[in-house]
Amino acid sequence: MTSKRKRGEEGMGEGEIVWQTPANAPQRCDYIFHNGRRHVRPYYFEFIAHVKNRWAGKSVVDLFTEEFKGRPYEYYVDAVKCGRIQVDGEMVPTSYIVKTSQKISHFLHRHEPPVMALEVKILKEEADVLTVYKPASVPVHPCGQYRKNTVVGILQAEHGLAPLFPIHRLDRLVSGLLIIARNASKADLFRQQIESGLVKKQYIARVVGVFPEEEQVVDVHINYNAREGRSTAEMVDSCKDTMAKGKAAQTKFTCISSDGVHSIVLCEPVTGRTHQIRVHLQYTGYPIANDALYLTKVASGRSMEKTTADRAAAISASSTAHDIEEDCVNARKENSSEDFRIDPMCTNCPNLAPKGYDGEEEGLWLHCVRYSGPGWIYECPYPEWASLK
């Protein structure tokens, strides 16, 4: 539900701030389209967490500084002093020591990363199933910094569709078929079929080089490193008594067409590991042609250094109060700043996008085209990049 709190912060002006919670449904007016990107108008949001055992015994300011590195120490000091950070619903001093299981609330001015301004196209609408063409760069459901700029959020805002239960996952940079159940019982049925191995998946990818004509089957473990946000192929030697770090993974690849420079490849993952298709294509020597993370070792190094929306949350915002004040003055000269109210305490204002987002992101040349199961088949049209003319 929406809650209202008096503006007690110096410089905020008179009136009330409306704080949003996950219960607030996205609306059409929440989106701003600018330079080919779909932005979300910044909004006040309440994050709630309960103190973990390893957090207990720390001051509330130290806890936030150490565990939530997206904002500087000075911000958290001011946030506690003015009540934007509370413990068990009450204001506390900056030296307050938190205890296990206490509820901590952080009220902040939230900026979501932009996504490509492409339509979330409804392919087929049935009584209990919805299939859509998911654009690249748009996450499926709320996660990380994304809440309204998601497939679920956009469908609710633009088509009034809710509740929605996505029954499989597509990585944010991947496009294509997304199957969404419209009730929990249908979602459970789909999940049971997937877990039982009754569902077949097909993707297409545009890869570097001339892919072999005969079917290629890659049966190589996948080891995902959550800290780095990337996976690696791991060969398992059956002759050695060593435990594999990664998980078993298998993908079948078939060449569809080639122009001598790139090839369009049909990808059929038997398992579903993180970045499985991307890593297995890299392993074969035919990586996805625009996949900076797995294209080459050199490109991979650059991609880890390059600031993207995925890594923006990990970048410390070092703006001081002077920097913020100077930025606010400059923002009034930009058209985009007129679309939302600037918060003088916000470490992202006056920019529309959050700090750390470079705005140069493109969709991956990997596209989900088909899912099939017992008695059902859903398909999605090919993207433009699948044509090698």
CATH assignment at residue 269: 3.30.2350.10
Q: How many domains does the chain have?
A: 2
Q: 59, 94, 112: which is the final residue of a domain? A: 112
Note whether 210 and 108 are same-domain residues.
no
Residue where the block lists tokens 């079948």 = 252
Q: Is the pLDDT of residue 2 over 60?
A: no
Min mean pLDDT across 220-224, 313-317, 340-344 is at 313-317
Return the pLDDT at 319: 34
Ranges of beta strands (E only) in 182-340 are 200-208, 216-219, 221-225, 230-234, 250-258, 262-269
- Active site includes 171? yes
Return the pLDDT at 327: 38
In a domain, 323, yes or no: no
Q: Is the pLDDT of residue 238 over 90?
A: no
In a domain, 239, yes or no: yes
pLDDT band at 355 (very low <50, low <70, confident <90, very high): confident
Note whether 284 and 387 are same-domain residues.
yes
d(CA 179, CA 165) in angstroms, rounded, equals 9
pLDDT tens digits along 185-206: 999 999 999 999 999 999 999 9
Q: 112, 143, 169: which is the final residue of a domain? A: 112
In a domain, 189, yes or no: no
In a domain, 140, yes or no: no
Please indicate whether residue 304 or residue 248 has the higher confidence score (pLDDT): 248
Note whether 221 and 98 are same-domain residues.
no
Q: Is the pLDDT of residue 331 over 70?
A: no
Q: Is the pLDDT of residue 330 over 60?
A: no
Give the CATH number of the domain where residue 89 resides.
Answer: 3.10.290.10
Note whether 229 and 364 are same-domain residues.
yes
Sheet holding 43-50, edge to edge: 3-6, 16-20, 43-50, 103-110, 85-87
Q: 112, 141, 157: which is the final residue of a domain? A: 112
Q: Give the domain extent around 253.
A: 199-315+356-369+378-389
Out of 30, 171, 343, 358, the active site residue is: 171
Q: What angle do CA 125, 127, 132 make, to 5 degrees?
A: 25
Return the pLDDT at 341: 85
Mean pLDDT of the chain: 85
